Homo-oligomer: A and B are copies of this chain.
Amino acid sequence: MSNILDKINSPQDVKKLSIDEMNTLAGEMREAIITKVNATGGHMAPNLGIVEATIAMHYVFNSPQDKIIFDVSHQCYPHKMLTGRKEGFTNPDKYYSYSGYTNPKESKHDIFKVGHTSTSVSLATGAAKARDLKGEKGNVIALIGDGSLSGGEAFEGFDNAATLDSNIIIIVNDNDMSIAPNSGGLYKNLKLLRETNGKAECNFFKSLGFDYYFIQDGNDLNRLIDTFEKVKDINHPTVVHMCTLKGKGLAAAEQNKEKFHWILPGTLDEKEDLQPAAVEESYLTVTNDYILNKVKQDPAVIAISAATPGAYGFTPEFRKQLGKNYTDVGIAEEHAVAYASALAKSGAKPILPLLSSFVQRTYDQLSQDLALNNSPATLLIHWGGISDADATHLGCFDIPLISNIPNIVYLAPVNKEEYLRMLDWAVEQKDYSVAIRVPFGKFVSSGAEDTTDYSKLNKYKIVEEGEDVAIIALGSFFELGRQVKEKLGLNATLINPHYITGIDEELLESLKSNHKLVITLEDGILDGGFGEKISRFYGGSDMKVLNYGAKKEFTDLVPLNELYERYHLTPDLIVKDIKECLKLEMV
């Protein structure tokens, strides 16, 4: 029974409530969030912590005339519940009706489509400046978590926001956690401010020129409303620093904030008293085993994380075992790459995993700090490939991003043995900046040792030698290549190229003698990718080339099989294309 929530269809309805009713509402919202997120998976603890603050924001401010801009927006569930979308949380039939991030297509109360961190202050500054240029009124509010403060874009935003001579309110949601525990000098200052009830003179926000308000208990509606009313319509840049409890109202989440930051469906139903299931071997476990073993042999090996250690299996236990051979740099991908580059150039052996979607935040550092210095750091790119993800978290752009930068060797293993061989080569060599696209999805073991010498760059591997048609199947699409060959029924050549960043000219040249068609398969967008380089190579010759991969577009939660159909990435569709192409040629 959700007696109050039932009546909330827009922020206007929140404004009619008493404090007691709002507290009841908070309880009802929390219950719905816990049930819904446990059913579907999603961000649990961040949303539980922000319930009261969201109610208070909508009570005091007038959205959408007042613009509330969320950072990352993984904490927008309570906001969605109060802005006409509560059924997405209360009605199981509607659980999948709304995305987990803000989206202007869903509601006028969502100002931007957001999913990466540290953008809210910059976006709010632009919105505030536009308001001023157009002579309009209204509050512009950015809501940013303490974890996101470490990102460079956030700092750049603060620096410029402070120069506005008009209204901008930055609400810093300080729950003393990033996804994992915070790391960084800034967090000592937040701690000092918490301990002094906001009164310490040395204040990061004040040093940047902001007026400053502190809320010790950011889950207390009275205090929240009181402070928000004070800063409403304020005429200068202002920070409200509020302390909330991440995971509030769910004991398990309050106790294990990292585990409950984002959960899989059914996490709450796990029986605590059972022995944990044996961890299955995966690309993550073999990576961790490799690193632990390596660190024992060589104290110069160091693993780095940019605030998402869980995504690549860097568990709290693993991090503890590494000790000083592990650095979490915070949400700071730019620094992570520069730091790794300097470590490698100074004789250490850094291993830096990054998610495909987040490597986008550090193009210039890959180019200037890393590649231009030929720094022999090792980057592991996770979650690369076409996916059914939210448009903010797609993994299909890393090949064009990384592979068109000079000097980087970008490798695509197809199984465990290749992956570990490449990883060890990358870590031990001193000549190249190396990135490895860790296969995403099925774990494959060939069972046979890989003895390839990866220092001989750009040597493709002919797995099965044939004629007429050559299939160059990159990384996670190697298996698709094998299926195409089988389906095709011809004695096609099957090639595992290993290298994303180079052309095996000798091999490609040799194919001309007895092949009419080369097809390329890559798990990412075609534009600027791997296959186009093969097309360019053969452009002046009689060889025909068909490139397979994704279209350049932002897809948003589109099922994978639908995308594969759309892009002709099934064996059936590819074989059909091949036959058409060859027939046409024979005419």
Contacts and interface: CB of A to CB of B under 8 A. Distances in A.
Contacts of A288: none
A206 B202 contact: yes
Contact of A329 (B160, B343, B368, B397): B160
Given A119-B338, A184-B162, A540 B531 contact: no
Nearest to A125: B339
Copies in the complex: 2
Contacts of A155: 152, 155-156
Contacts of A397: 367, 404-405
A126 B406 contact: no
A331 B544 CA distance: 47
A210 B552 CA distance: 45
Contacts of A533: 527, 532
Contact of A183 (B158, B163, B207): B163
A332 B528 contact: no
A302 interface: yes
Contact of A391 (B126, B372, B535): B372
Nearest to A150: B159
B207 A189 contact: yes
Contacts of A203: 202, 207
A360 B132 CA distance: 30
Contact of A123 (B189, B341, B358, B540): B341
B343 A119 contact: no
Nearest to A358: B364
A209 interface: yes
Contacts of A131: 346
Contacts of A130: 300, 342-343, 346-348
Contact of A554 (B207, B344, B401, B407): B407
Bin chain A's interface residue count. 35 or more
B237 A185 contact: yes
A129 B160 contact: no
A300 B342 contact: no
Interface string A118-140: 01001111110111111100000
A203 B338 CA distance: 26
A315 interface: no
A536 B151 CA distance: 38
A140 to B, nearest CB: 9
10 contacts: A116-B368, A127-B345, A130-B343, A151-B152, A152-B153, A152-B154, A157-B338, A400-B528, A535-B545, A540-B546
Q: Which 7 A-B pairs have the closest CB atoms?
A: A152-B152, A162-B185, A126-B342, A528-B528, A156-B335, A185-B209, A130-B346
